């Protein structure tokens, strides 16, 4: 009986291990990072949905001049109210609207164009490689924020335009990572072998390179891309080019609360700043934790 | 024993002279080509812009064709785009970046005047970032990630997620209210010079959002090098491990990451200069974007790209000088 039980246990474990070996091999601290990051990502998605469905504790535009700058926890406002008596929690939740979809747009552009250029550079002969590396260097020459200001001056301060720019400026990173991966696979005679067993080019690139070998890399880049989208969106809203009052964005909330920070009413700008901090930290830890677990494990 | 050894070293050095010079030339040409590319991109963005730059400036009051034509002529833009581009490029090469639509002053002079402030700010904060990141990276690559140094790595992550504008306000708050140091808002030219100079540099160096990446990169590179055979040999014969690992494990990665993060620093400078009223390129770019002052923002984009490219060029020079294998390698211009 005992032997049987043990056998069943090991076999069950064996099954699990077969699918999730990487989880067992991972360092606990990486799992902590990834867990925290996943929680944050979940909270962001939930807030986006809540904001989209208008399921908020208070009306975020509802001014109440009798309850201006109420400290957190007082008179039913969990995170206090801002300088016009608007509920900060509701505005924080609604603030995810400012970056979530635009961020996804930026990520999509970065990943699709990055994959395209990365494969062209890694797969095609030297001239294509050189041309693409030139373009990559060219894009890398511009400080992102300066390029964005240029586009704002030329077109209009629209967050979707801005995220297109962010997406394009992230293409180099993704492209060079994928190119490196292809180089790695080529060195292991992986591609040669795939050609030798008669796979066609499309299946090699789409299935065997992108799906089997670059999947985790693309997920990692997507999480880091979201962190960057938040950083850019909040910075621009702070600078006055992004979302405009009264529509809330974490950036313009910090800006409008900053004057009161100097008066000692710290929560007006500190709460949105902490939201930025916690969220960007979450996406960074998620990306880097996944990188440690999936990529470092895969290379060994 | 020593004779032939020295001889071979000498011949190697002689034979190495040409490739290094050639490599440097190639890097120079590449930099020049990239700068031409940069100018094309900047010009095309503005050319593709919907609406007329000049209608913004003139408003609705003088929307006649002749005024537009005069304005275009005054800014030096006429004809098809390549015509406009060549005129513009030729002017720029001669040092004529046009004049600011807002102030009427020549753009180049203005950029040079404020650019030096931005250079102080970015280089200073790069130094601060390295002062934070290098000890963390080195300790964790030397000992492996342990329970004792993991908090420091996490600290680097928290610091790089800090919104720089909020940190600026907190620092200003503490310096005004707690330490009674008022004149920090006057910028580098006013009041207590050192403090107004140091605060923005400190803030940007801490919260530019790259500390964790710098730590990660330096740590990975150093760990990789420490696992190499030649380090094991050095350790076995009792030589200093750090002296042997310095070039490949620290100098090259550090210069690479500095060059790669230069654009981020310049971007962060836009925000920090805004908060601290620092008279630099970032503030000028912000003002120009507000006013849609095309010549200024074009000039700043180009100046910033020149900063970045010169930084990258210096990194390549260090790499070629330090790494004897550089001349045998194909272009490594990817990555950094």
Q: Which positions in chain B touch A241 (Cβ < 8 Å)?
A: 289
ipTM above 0.90, yes or no: no
What's the rounded mean pLDDT across residues B254-260?
A: 90
The total number of structural domains in chain B stands at 1
Interface probe for B, chosen from A26, A28, A143, A286 (most Cβ of B below 10 Å), is A143
CB atoms within 10 A of CB A238: 27
For B33-55, write each residue's pLDDT tens digit: 999 999 888 888 877 776 555 55
Whether the predicted pLDDT of A1 surpasses 60: no
pLDDT band at B336 (very low <50, low <70, confident <90, very high): very low
Mean pLDDT of chain B: 78
Point out the residue among A141, A144, A278 whose CB comes nearest to the CB of B38.
A141
**Is the pLDDT score of A38 beyond 90?**
yes
B237 in a domain, yes or no? Answer: yes
- Other Cβ atoms within 10 Å of B120 Cβ, number: 16
pLDDT at A196 over 70: yes
The rounded distance, in Å, linking the Cα atoms of A266 and B151 is 27
- Evaluate if residue A22 carries a pLDDT over 50: yes
CATH number for B256 = 1.10.3720.10
Model confidence over A106-155: pLDDT tens digits?
999 999 999 988 888 887 767 777 777 788 888 888 888 888 988 888 88
- Note whether residue B121 is domain-resident: yes
Q: From the list B162, B169, B292, which residue is nearest A269 (CB)?
A: B169
- Give the Cα separation of A81 and A83 in Å (integer): 7
Residue of A29, A120, A136, A141 to mutate, interface with B, max B Cβ within 10 Å: A141
Q: Give the range among A177-186, A199-208, B320-329 with minimum mean pLDDT.
A: B320-329
Q: Kindly tell me if the per-residue pLDDT of B101 is higher than 90.
A: no
Q: Is A135 or A284 the better-scoring residue by pLDDT?
A: A284
Rg (CA), chain B: 25
- Chain A nearest CA to B241, separation (Å): 25
Contact status of B56 with chain A (Cβ, < 8 Å): no
DSSP secondary structure string for all residues of B27-41: HHHHHHHHHHHHHHH
CA of B308, closest CA in chain A: separation in Å?
Answer: 6
Residues from chain B that touch A227, judged by Cβ atoms under 8 A, are: 161
pLDDT value at position B195?
Answer: 67
pLDDT at A297: 54
The predicted pLDDT at position B260 comes to: 87
Burial B5-27, CB ≥16 within 10 A → b, else e: eeeeeeeeeeeeeeeeeebeeeb
Residue B266 in any domain: the answer is yes
Segment A9-23 mean pLDDT = 48
Whether B286 sits inside 8 A of A147 (CB atoms) is no
Closest residue of chain B to A147, computed from CA coordinates: B301
pLDDT at B285 over 80: yes
Which sign does the torsion angle of CA B125, B128, B130, B132 carry? negative
Assess if residue B276 is contained within a domain: yes
C-beta atoms of B300 and A255 within 8 A? no
Q: How confident is the model at residue A23 (pLDDT cuts 50, 70, 90)?
A: low
Given B45, B216, B265, which is nearest A151 (Cβ)?
B45
B241: number of Cβ within 10 Å: 16
B49 touches chain A (CB under 8 A): yes
Which residue of B161, B262, B289 is in closest CB contact with A281?
A: B161
Collapsing DSSP states into helix, strand and coil, what is residue A53? coil
Q: Which residue has the higher pLDDT, B334 or B202?
A: B202
The whole-number pLDDT of residue A125 equals: 63
Contact check, Cβ <8 Å, A277/B41: no
Q: How far apart are the first and last CA of chain A?
A: 39
Among B145, B209, B305, beta carbon nearest to A141 = B305
Instruction: Identify the pLDDT of residue B81.
Output: 62
Interface touch B267/A143, C-beta < 8 Å: yes
Put simply, whether B115 touches A (Cβ < 8 Å) is: no
Which chain A positions have a beta carbon within 8 Å of B41's beta carbon? 138, 142
Residue A47 has pLDDT above 80, yes or no: yes
What are the tens digits of pLDDT across the range B118-151? Answer: 998 999 999 999 999 999 998 888 877 777 778 8
Q: Judged by CB atoms within 8 Å, which residues 134-153 of B form the interface with A? A: 145, 150
Q: Of A3, A1, A21, nearest to A13 (Cα)?
A: A21
Which residues in chain B have Cβ-Cβ distances shorter than 8 Å to A146?
266-267, 270, 285, 300-301, 304
CB-nearest to A29 from B33, B150, B271 is B150
The per-residue pLDDT of chain A, averaged, comes to: 81
pLDDT of residue A256: 86
Write down the pLDDT at residue A43.
94
For residue B80, the model assigns a pLDDT of 60
Domain span at residue B183 reads 108-291
Predicted local distance difference test score (pLDDT) of residue A8: 40
Alpha carbons within 13 angstroms on the beta-carbon side of residue B209 total 28
Asked if residue A135 lies in contact with residue A76, where contact means CB atoms within 8 angstroms, the answer is no
Under an 8 A CB cutoff, do A154 and B49 touch?
yes
Percent of chain A with pLDDT over 70: 90
Contact B169 A231 (CB under 8 A): no
Closest-CA distance of chain A to residue B210, Å:
11
Q: How confident is the model at residue A3 (pLDDT cuts 50, 70, 90)?
A: very low
Amino acid A141: pLDDT = 87
Provide the pLDDT confidence category of residue B71 given band limits of 50, 70 and 90: low
Do B49 and A155 lie within an 8 Å CB cutoff?
A: yes
* pLDDT over threshold 50, residue A71: yes
Largest CA distance in chain A: 77
Beta-carbon separation of A154 and B33 below 8 A: no
| Residue A164 with chain B: CB contacts under 8 Å | none
In the predicted model, is pLDDT for residue B212 greater than 50? yes
- Reported confidence tier of residue A267, pLDDT bands at 50, 70, 90: confident
| pLDDT tens column, A150-174 | 888 888 788 888 899 999 988 888 8
Mean pLDDT of A216-229: 90
- How many helices and strands (H and E) does chain B possess? 14, 0
B13 assigned to some structural domain: no
* pLDDT score recorded for residue A18: 47
**Which residues, in sequence order, are bridge partners of residue A81?**
A87
User: How many whole angstroms separate alpha carbon B34 and alpha carbon B29?
Assistant: 9
**Confidence at residue B67, expressed as pLDDT on a 0 to 100 scale:** 56
Per-residue pLDDT at B9 exceeds 70: no
- Distance, in Å, from the CA atom of B137 to the CA atom of B130, rounded to the nearest integer, reads 10
Residue of A nearest to B282 (CA): A146
Contact status of B173 with chain A (Cβ, < 8 Å) = yes
CB contacts of A288 in chain B (<8 Å) are: 157, 212, 216
Contact criterion met (CB < 8 Å) for B300 and A146: yes
């Amino acid at each position: 009986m005992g032997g049987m039980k043990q056998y069943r246990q090991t076999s069950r474990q064996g099954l699990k291990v077969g699918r999730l070996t990487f989880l067992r091999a991972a360092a606990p601290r990486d799992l902590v990072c990834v867990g925290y990051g996943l929680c944050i990502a979940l909270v962001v998605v939930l807030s986006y949905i809540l904001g989209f469905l208008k399921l908020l504790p208070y009306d975020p535009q509802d001014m109440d001049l009798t309850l201006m700058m109420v400290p957190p926890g007082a008179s039913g406002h969990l995170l206090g109210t801002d300088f016009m008596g608007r509920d900060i929690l509701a505005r924080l939740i609604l603030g995810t609207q400012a970056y979530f979809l635009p961020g996804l747009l930026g990520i999509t552009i970065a990943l699709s164009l990055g994959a395209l250029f990365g494969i062209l550079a890694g797969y095609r002969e030297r001239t294509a490689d050189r041309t693409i590396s030139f373009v990559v260097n060219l894009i890398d020459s511009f400080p992102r924020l300066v390029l964005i200001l240029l586009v704002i001056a030329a077109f209009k301060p629209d967050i979707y335009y801005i995220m297109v720019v962010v997406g394009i400026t992230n293409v180099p990173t993704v492209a060079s990572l994928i190119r490196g991966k292809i180089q790695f696979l080529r060195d292991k005679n992986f591609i040669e072998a795939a050609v030798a067993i008669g796979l066609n080019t499309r299946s090699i690139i789409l299935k065997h390179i992108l799906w089997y070998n670059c999947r985790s890399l693309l997920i990692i880049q997507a999480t880091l891309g979201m962190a960057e989208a938040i950083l850019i969106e909040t910075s621009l809203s702070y600078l006055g080019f992004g979302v405009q009052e009264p529509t809330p964005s974490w950036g313009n909330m910090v800006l409008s609360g900053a004057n009161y920070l100097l008066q000692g009413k710290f929560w007006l700008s500190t709460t949105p700043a902490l939201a930025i901090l916690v969220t960007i930290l979450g996406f960074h830890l998620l990306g880097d934790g996944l990188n440690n677990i999936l990529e470092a494990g895969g290379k060994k | 024993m020593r004779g032939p050894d020295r001889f071979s070293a000498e011949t190697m050095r002689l034979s190495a002279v040409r490739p290094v010079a050639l490599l440097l030339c190639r890097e120079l040409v590449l930099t020049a080509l990239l700068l031409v590319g940069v100018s094309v991109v900047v010009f095309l963005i503005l050319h593709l812009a919907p609406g007329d730059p000049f209608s913004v400036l003139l408003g609705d009051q003088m929307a006649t064709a002749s005024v537009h034509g005069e304005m275009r002529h005054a800014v030096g833009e006429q004809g098809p785009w390549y015509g406009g581009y060549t005129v513009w490029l030729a002017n720029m090469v001669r040092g004529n970046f046009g004049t600011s639509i807002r102030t009427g002053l020549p753009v180049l002079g203005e950029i040079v005047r404020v650019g030096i402030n931005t250079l102080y700010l970015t280089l200073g904060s790069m130094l601060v970032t390295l002062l934070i990141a290098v000890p963390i990276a080195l300790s964790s690559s030397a000992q492996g990630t342990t329970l004792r140094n993991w908090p420091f790595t996490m600290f680097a992550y928290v610091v790089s997620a800090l919104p720089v504008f909020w940190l600026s306000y907190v620092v200003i708050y503490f310096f005004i209210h707690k330490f009674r140091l008022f004149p920090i808002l006057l910028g580098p030219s006013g009041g207590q010079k050192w403090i107004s100079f140091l605060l923005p540099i400190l803030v940007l160096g801490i919260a530019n959002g790259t500390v964790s990446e710098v730590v990660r990169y330096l740590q990975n590179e150093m760990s990789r090098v420490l696992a190499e055979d030649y380090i094991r040999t050095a350790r076995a014969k009792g030589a200093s491990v750090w002296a042997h690992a310095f070039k490949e494990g620290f100098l090259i990665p550090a210069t690479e990451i500095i060059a790669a993060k230069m654009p981020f620093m310049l971007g962060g400078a836009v925000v920090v200069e805004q908060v601290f009223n620092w008279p630099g390129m970032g503030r000028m770019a912000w003002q120009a974007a507000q006013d849609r002052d095309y010549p200024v923002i074009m000039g700043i984009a180009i100046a910033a790209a020149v900063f970045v490219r010169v930084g990258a060029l210096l990194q390549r020079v260090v790499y070629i000088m330090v790494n004897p294998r550089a001349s045998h390698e194909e272009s490594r211009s990817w990555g950094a």
